[in-house]
């Protein structure tokens, strides 16, 4: 299990032209030594990250307006 030093996720939410939103996520895997991450491991990590974003619904995001 000591094959990865860390995994970082960067998520950006942007407004889309049709009034919705676009979510872009970048994952960086930092391996230890000469360990090479296989495609299966990357897919598993992607699926796990998607689990965290599934509960988000359009109604979860509100536009804040100044008072």
Q: How is the chain split into domains, by residue range?
A: 4-53
Largest alpha-carbon pair distance within the chain?
Answer: 55
pLDDT tens profile 34-66:
888 888 878 887 787 777 666 555 554 455 445
Give the pLDDT confidence score for residue 45 in this predicted structure: 75
| Selection from 51, 61, 2 nearest residue 31 by Cα | 2
Could you tell me the pTM of the whole model? 0.55
Residue recorded with tokens 């995994």:
7
SS3 13: strand
pLDDT digits 0-9 by tens, 5-19: 988 888 888 898 988
């Amino acid at each position: 299990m000591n094959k990865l030093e860390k995994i970082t996720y960067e998520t950006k939410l942007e407004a889309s032209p049709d009034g919705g939103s676009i979510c872009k996520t970048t994952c960086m895997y930092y391996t230890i030594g000469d360990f090479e991450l296989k495609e299966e491991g990357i897919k598993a990590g992607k699926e796990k990250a998607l689990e965290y974003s599934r509960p988000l619904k359009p109604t979860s995001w509100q536009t804040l307006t100044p008072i």
